[in-house]
Structure 1
């Protein structure tokens, strides 16, 4: 008889939160096999494999809506999805190799060993994404703001950049834990203020610009895909909390 696992057990094995599994259930991405008499979710091998599919596609940058379409695609078997993912991962592997080379080259540049042109910072990213990111930044914040931001990052140095990345990750993780409290909660508002201060290390924003950035986290597919990897509700939470914060500031 097949052993079934509780939501807590599956959560630990897959490295995702119980809240995420609950979210996947509600949104039809991963339904449990059955429930205990007390109403607790139970998962078997089939559900574990489906979760693997979901997580693989998340790592590849697909939206939750897109993943549901792919794993539920009529006539497409689990093996076909795995072969598709294998091909995508091979392409991703090549891209990651290119990105690693760019990172090492940038480190050497920041250490003063070599010189780099601005366009070299983006080698390994698809040209489509490069154009998208930079054009969106120019559209939202202007050419001069983008130029100053790039200069700030270049002058920062790898140690400072690593510290700031860790700070940002901590802020977003604390925001995730605070989602149940709601966007208007005191701690939520304190975290938005910390986020605002943190962003000043990369560029100088107006209140309107920061609110636009927060809304972009929620509404822009590229931004949302990044935050969905941390928590599927995080992008919307930041947008809502920023809306409360800047309303109070005016």
Structure 2
């Protein structure tokens, strides 16, 4: 029987995938990582939660990247269309595509991790590494808040529509409606995190002293070797990116 995936292995895989994708800055690789993550989400049975949450996060971000870099990219030379100061350039669209796909890949891998990791196993693994418990509980609270973002945002939208908010077809109207929805969403998440922190403090989780864990998390040697190799590969990708971007003729 195959041993279960250790929380640190899943976290390392997600972090290294995001680091390598960012260091490569190559949109076909970002698309491949995003598609692979979506496939894994389907295999794990969490695609119905990962993909809607990713859409809520990425849709306004990608639209802003398209508007900012697609229409107002100062380094753009190949003009495809122009309306006054706004210019659609091939370089701007390419930069928006690269940045958008890279961000999509990073968001998807971390959402997949947050929807599949076992929070009790993660806290036990952190406690076993003598990591301060406050960090573990803050991380666990963050992971448990992520799945509720899409549901909470949909409720905010429904409440605002019942109060008379009308979203027209124009881009400015949609962006304005999104801003009105994001403000109560962020405030609600902050309030929820504060309530969780108070509940944890009331139960003594922030008190110093030795702790005993009643949950054993198996960490196979093969997974430890995989984490070491993944970290080395991610570090090599970052170093390679720095060396490749170093100006020619400048001594290192």
Query: Per chain length, whose mean CA-contact separation is higher, i.e. which structure has more relative contact order (CA < 8 Å, sep 6+)?
Result: 2
Q: Which has the larger radius of gyration?
A: 2
